[in-house]
Amino acid sequence: MTATVVGSRTARQRRLTWLWRAVALVFVVFTLFPVYWMVNSSFEPNGQITSLTPSFFPVHFTFHNFVDATERPYFLVDLRNSMIVVLSTVVLVLIVAFLAATAVTRFRLRGAKAFLVLVLVVQMVPTTALVIPLFLILEKAKLLNSFQGLILTYVALTLPFTIWVLRGFVRGVPVDLEEAALVDGCTRVGAFRRILLPLVLPGLISTGVFSFITAWNDFLYADVIMQQQGHWTLPVWLFGFETNTLTDYGGLMASCTLFALPVVVFFLIVQRRLVSGLTAGAIKG
Amino acid sequence: MLNSARGRTEQTSSSAPSYRRRPHSWRRAIRRQLLPFLLLLPALVLVGLVLGYPIGQVVATSFQQLGVFQLLSHQTVWNGLSNYTALFSSSQFLDVLEQTLLFVVATVGLTLLIGTGVALLMGRLGKFLRTVVSVAMLLAWAMPNTAASIVWTWLFETEYGVVNYMLVTLGLQGFNNHDWFASSLSAYGVITAMIVWQAVPFVALTLYAALTMVPRELFEAAAVDGASPWTIFRRVSFPIVRPIFVLLTVLSIIWDSNVFNQVWFLTSGRAEVINVVPLGVWQYIEAFSSQQYGLGAAVAVITVLLLLIVTGYYIRIMVRTGEVRA
């Protein structure tokens, strides 16, 4: 009697396991397809792309689209611009946000709660609405068309969310550790540098990825602030490419692949830390 | 600021070990007061100057008549509430609100539903498939949304798009040369699918990681007691991950209400022509295309107020449950 019950239960479980596997595969196919299609199209010659029966593998494999994309005017210049702006943004935002997160969590601040709610509310302001006032401010400060102006903008835009998430990580590190270091004769700064900093590294990585993506992605501010072509960043270049050459989907997909590549590589390298980091931030909220 | 700094030191010193309260250490005490303030200072200055001041400007502008003429001649023409009355009396505004509401409900609802489903699914998979699922999601998530939007226009392209090709191959002849961006509803369908596609990974991976932190014994105990999987989810897993779930919901609502890039790129700038104007896009169109910056600012102010009304309840829950805790 019991044996059959157990037997039927395991049979049902086995069937369920296969069901879950099938569902997972369907999900993976849907999730991967757009990415796959981008890469597939980027390796196909244009004649093949604009044929009425698309091929699901790059049969007529070619690097032509990539060569074509990178040899277009300003691609390399704008890539360099993007790199300068994004990397400076990430470094600056991490320093400022880490200091702020420490201030909010490690010291009993009366206004801390209000500050954090404010940080969440700032997120609600549509970024499109801030374009004009920011433009006017940067114009007054003579920072239009400069890397500094764009970097400052990105730092400020990503700062609220970065502080919000980092605070969770900083709080996750037991204060006792720092106090022990203080008792052992460490200075406050020393405890901060030797105890807190290494322990919140995963948090710094995941928030770093977040600000990297926000800045790397931004089209609107770069478009408004950088008015000379030599100062453009890649998204602006990409939009110009999309609107100027409507039919060159091969070149367009190759540029999208190149544009997405750094982020994807970055993501895959830090993926484990990223996910564990996100929960650490979320759990301790 | 000074007040809070003072309040903070009082509390710190009361909880600090006694060795810190040596006499003649007032120099140190001042330094201890200053330090947290100095740590917060760069963030306060940056957020204040680059976000706070512009936000103030937006609020001020929403009470002004500001067009190109006023902008170039640096004139300030206050016109009271007329931007707001103009908005509320225009029929398009109500249409935009309705579109935004449906769009946000659809994207946030689908994202959370699929995200939770995938998080639970990942717990039932072997290590290999779980890695495959996470890597697939990381790839979709990592795609910059500008590039992703261009890729999706290519997928749904009228003549050579692979989606139409597959649908026709499946026997749906109606999709031969079908223009997905011809009508508002079908354009919204594509935009929603794309946003959900990119938003699910964040929700699923976060929830999965949170679920793995639920002690195993709880599930086993519930299973021994004969609870169904649904009951286990409702009574054991969900209550534990609820704070994260609330946070994810609030963030999703905020992000999806202000979507701009995806709509702008997917419709190739034709958003208004085909009447795909959620608030974030309409705000941009009102301000830039119509060059009525005052009106655009009023839309932004209304957006924030609406979001505050919608998320205020959850933010209060977060504050009360200690989720917003320093």
Give a three-class secondary structure readout of B144-202.
CHHHHHHHHHHHCCCCCCHHHHHHHHCCCHHHCCCCCCCCHHHHHHHHHHHHHHHHHHH
> What is the mean pLDDT for each group of 10 consecutive residues in chain A (285 residues)?
54 86 95 93 81 76 84 87 93 92 76 75 78 83 89 90 82 77 81 79 81 87 85 86 74 89 80 56 40
A238 occurs within a structural domain: yes
Task: Tell me the C-alpha distance between B45 and A23, whole Å.
Answer: 50
C-alpha radius of gyration, chain B, whole number = 26
CB-based contacts of A231: which residues, under 8 Å, 6+ apart?
Answer: A81, A145, A146, A147
Q: What is the pLDDT of residue B6?
A: 37
pLDDT in the model for residue B324: 57
pLDDT at position B192 is: 96
| Residue B259 sits in the same domain as residue B209 | yes
In a shared domain, residues B57 and B95: no
Q: Where are the beta strands (DSSP E) in chain B?
A: none
pLDDT score at B101 = 92
**How far, in Å, are A128, A194, B54, B68, B156 from residue B76 at the CA level?**
22, 53, 16, 12, 46
CATH number at residue A236: 1.10.3720.10
Helix, strand, or coil (residue B78): strand
Per the structure, the complete domain to which residue A8 belongs is given by 2-42
What is the rounded distance in angstroms from the CA atom of residue B217 to the CA atom of residue B230?
17
Beta bridge partners of B78: B64
Residue of B nearest to A285 (CA): B323
Dist. CA A218–CA A82, nearest whole Å: 10
**Residue A33 sits in the same domain as residue A73:** no
Residue A143 lies in a domain: yes
Task: Quote the CA–CA distance of A43 and A36 in Å, as a whole number.
Answer: 11
Q: Do A18 and A156 lie in a common domain?
A: no
CA distance B165 to A226: 40
Q: Is A206 exposed, middle or buried (0-12, 13-18, 19+ CB in 10 A)?
A: buried
- The residue among A9, A278, A277, A14 whose CA lies nearest residue B124 is A14
Whole-structure pTM value: 0.81
- Phi-psi category of residue A142: left, alpha or beta, with phi > 0 → left and psi -120 to 50 → alpha: left
Q: How many domains does chain B have?
A: 2
Burial call B92-122: b when 16+ CB within 10 Å, e when fewer? ebeebbebbeebbebbbebbbebbbebbbbb
Q: Is residue B142 part of a domain?
A: yes
Residues near B7 by Cβ (< 8 Å), separated by ≥ 6?
A: A108, A110
Q: Which of A12, A21, A32, A124 to mutate to test the interface with B (most CBs of B within 10 A)?
A: A124
pLDDT at position B116, please? 94
- Domain-embedded: residue B326: no
Nearest residue in B to A29, CA atom: B136
Tell me if B50 and A152 make a contact (CB, 8 A cut-off): yes
The answer as to whether A198 is a domain residue is yes
State which amino acid sits at residue A108: R
- Alpha-carbon distance B326 to B319, whole Å? 10
Alpha-carbon distance of A59 to A46, in angstroms, equals 12
Tokens 């091969």: give the residue.
Answer: A250
Same domain, A104 and A29: no
Chain B CB contacts of A49 below 8 Å? 160
Tell which A residues from 55 to 94 touch B, by Cβ distance under 8 Å.
none
pLDDT tens, chain B, 326 aa long: 333 333 333 334 344 444 444 555 666 655 666 777 788 888 888 888 888 888 898 899 889 888 877 777 777 888 888 889 988 888 888 899 999 999 999 999 999 999 999 999 998 888 899 989 988 998 898 888 888 999 999 999 888 889 999 999 898 888 888 889 888 899 999 999 999 999 999 899 888 888 887 777 887 888 888 888 888 888 888 887 887 888 888 889 888 888 888 898 888 777 777 888 888 888 888 877 777 888 888 888 888 888 888 888 877 877 776 655 54
CATH value at residue B158: 1.10.3720.10
d(CA A223, CA A233): 8
Residue A129's pLDDT is what?
Answer: 77
Would the CB atoms of B146 and A217 count as touching at under 8 Å?
yes
Other beta carbons within 10 angstroms of residue A173's beta carbon come to 20
Please list every residue in chain A whose beta carbon sits closer than 8 Å to the beta carbon of residue B22: none
Q: How far is A32 from chain B (nearest CA, A)?
A: 6
Return the pLDDT at A177. Answer: 77
User: Do B107 and A198 form a contact (C-beta atoms < 8 A)?
Assistant: no
B152–A217 C-beta distance less than 8 A:
no
Question: Closest to A99 (Cβ–Cβ): which among B1, B42, B257?
Answer: B42
Same domain for B238 and B158? yes
Same domain, A31 and A77: no
Interface of A with B in 216-245 (CB under 8 A): 216-217, 219-220, 235, 238-239, 242-243
Which residues 190-209 in chain A show a CB within 8 A of chain B?
none
Residue to substitute from A16, A21, A25, A31, interface B, most B β-carbons within 10 A: A31
**Residue A276: which of B6, B109, B213 has the closest Cα?**
B213
Contact in structure between A99 and B47 (CB atoms under 8 Å): no
Neighbours of B33 (CB within 10 A): 18
Nearest residue of A to residue B194, measured between CA atoms? A34
**Domains: count for chain A:** 2
Cβ–Cβ gap A124/B325 under 8 Å: no
- A268 contacts chain B (CB < 8 A): yes
Distance in angstroms (rounded) separating the CA atoms of residues B136 and A29? 9
Q: Which residues of A touch B157 (CB under 8 A)?
A: 249
Residue B190 is predicted with a pLDDT of 95
Residue that the structure tokens 């939007």 belong to:
B149
ipTM of the complex: 0.80
Whether B17 and B92 map to the same domain: the answer is no
B91: which 2 tokens? 């029929």
Answer whether A285 sits within 8 Å of B323, measured CB to CB: yes
Are B52 and B89 in the same domain?
A: no
* DSSP conformation letters of A56-119: SS-TT--SHHHHHHHHSTTHHHHHHHHHHHHHHHHHHHHHHHHHHHHHHHHS--TTHHHHHHHH
Using the Cβ of A20 and the Cβ atoms of chain B, whether some distance falls under 8 Å is answered with yes
Q: Number of residue pairs across A and B with CB atoms under 8 Å?
A: 310
Is position B72 within any domain? no
Which residues in chain B have Cβ-Cβ distances shorter than 8 Å to A264? Answer: 138-139, 142-143
For residue A88, give every residue at least 6 positions away whose Cβ sits within 8 Å of its Cβ, in sequence order, or none: A147, A151
Q: Do A253 and B154 touch (CB under 8 A)?
A: yes
Among A125, A135, A176, A253, the residue to mutate for chain B (most B Cβ within 10 A): A125
pLDDT at A154: 92
Residue B156 belongs to domain spanning: 82-320
| pLDDT for position A21 | 93
Of A49, A243, A266, the CB nearest to B160: A49
